[in-house]
Amino acid sequence: MIRYGIVGCGHIAKKHVNAIRAVEGAELAAVCDKDPDRLSFWNEEVAGFTDMEAMLSAVQLDVVNICTPSGLHPSLTIQAAEAGKHVVVEKPMALTLKDADAMIRACERNGVRMAVVHPNRFRPAMRELRKRVEAEAFGTFSHANATVRWNRDQEYYDQAPWRGTRAMDGGVLMNQAIHNLDLLLWMMGEVEEVFSYQATRLRNIESEDTSVSVLRFKNGALGAIEAAVTLYPRNLEESLALFGETGTAVIGGPTANWIQTWKFADETDSRAAETIHRINEDPYGKPGHQCLIEDMTEAVRTGRQPAVTGSDGRRALALIVACQESARTGRPVQMDTWQGKTVAEEGSGK
């Protein structure tokens, strides 16, 4: 059995608990939260702790799942890695590239794996879209759009003091749109240049509630990102759209789970209709967190890297931080020459 411990028993922890319990060969062995009231809900069934160090000392664990507010992810990940534990860390893995790099290095230094929670990669529509990208069915890409038009009202932000702050939340790109941006990069590859506008229009928070950005990818394609939590009166849509010389695909809906457009030169209309019907008949598939825990359990057993690595998580973070930098300076950010280099580049002195 691969034994898991969860740190942070708020809302997202429930998905981790359900995922671990659904995966054969995985076991929830301990939970940790500094708030005893939140902890009491869980520790009737497993060992409960108000201190992570005490949990690591008292319980034999293979993996620690970090489910705390975002600003706490780096220190807790490093603490787990230095104790020799593999790590599953919720998105965003960190709020700064410096912290993300420290997390990656700590895991490498201690010989442990880190998986970043981007479960939307396991959605049936996204898996199908990735197959089409790998088959080069789009030909030359012209452009791509990533859109998150959601509602997070003031009551949502007032529920917890960390929400909407720069230090712990990070804003609409960091907290709500990051999954969509991870998918955009997974499909389109590296970004060369980004220019962004950001604003706090309607919510009484420190970070932005609205963001619009334009991109140029290294493959020459252009891109657009629109993200907002100001939609009235409820969530409207999340979508990812890819356009190329021989293919057009749009995955959308309130969450990006449904195929809305699926046209390829190498597919007949009837075959495309079959794909749309098959995916949209069960658009959610197996829960993404369960897929991620299955993958991490196997990665720990076999010693391979997880499907979504620390480097993957850093890539989405770097795009967001670049958007924030562009909005702050009013200038485009060149990703290759900007300070957001990859860990490998920094280590080689490039």
pLDDT at site 174: 95
Residue 33 CB: number of other CB atoms within 10 A?
A: 25
What is the C-alpha separation between 350 and 342, in angstroms, rounded?
10
pLDDT at site 348: 33
pTM: 0.94
Joined together, the tokens standing for residue 327 give 């909005």
**Beta partners for 249?**
242, 262
Residue 142 CB: number of other CB atoms within 10 A?
A: 14
pLDDT at site 39: 86
Nearest by Cα to 8 from 32, 42, 36: 32
Which superfamily does 2-112 belong to? NAD(P)-binding Rossmann-like Domain (3.40.50.720)
pLDDT at site 344: 36
Report yes or no: 50 and 36 within 8 Å, Cβ to Cβ: yes
Q: Using DSSP, state whether 257 is helix, strand or coil.
A: coil
What is the C-alpha separation between 73 and 80, in angstroms, rounded?
11
Written as tens digits, the pLDDT of the chain (350 aa) is 999 999 999 999 999 999 999 999 999 999 999 999 888 777 678 999 999 999 999 999 999 999 999 999 999 999 999 999 999 999 999 999 999 999 999 999 999 999 999 999 999 999 999 999 999 999 999 999 999 999 999 999 999 999 999 999 999 999 999 999 999 999 999 999 999 999 999 999 999 999 999 999 999 999 999 999 999 999 999 999 999 999 999 999 999 999 999 999 999 999 999 999 999 999 999 999 999 999 999 999 999 999 999 999 999 999 999 999 999 999 999 998 876 543 333 333 33
pLDDT at site 74: 98
Residue 11 CB: number of other CB atoms within 10 A?
A: 10
Q: How far apart are the first and last CA of the chain?
A: 42
Nearest by Cα to 129 from 191, 184, 179: 184
Report yes or no: 238 and 256 within 8 Å, Cβ to Cβ: yes
For domain 120-285, the question of CATH label 3.30.360.10 is answered with: yes
- Return the residue matching tokens 């389109």: 188
pLDDT at site 346: 38
Residues of the chain with CATH 3.30.360.10: 120-285
CA atoms within 13 A on the CB side of 129: 31
Residues of the chain with CATH 3.40.50.720: 2-112
What is the C-alpha separation between 274 and 280, in angstroms, rounded?
10
Distances (CA, A) of 101 to 24, 80, 179, 286, 314: 32, 15, 20, 31, 8
Q: Using DSSP, state whether 58 is helix, strand or coil.
A: helix
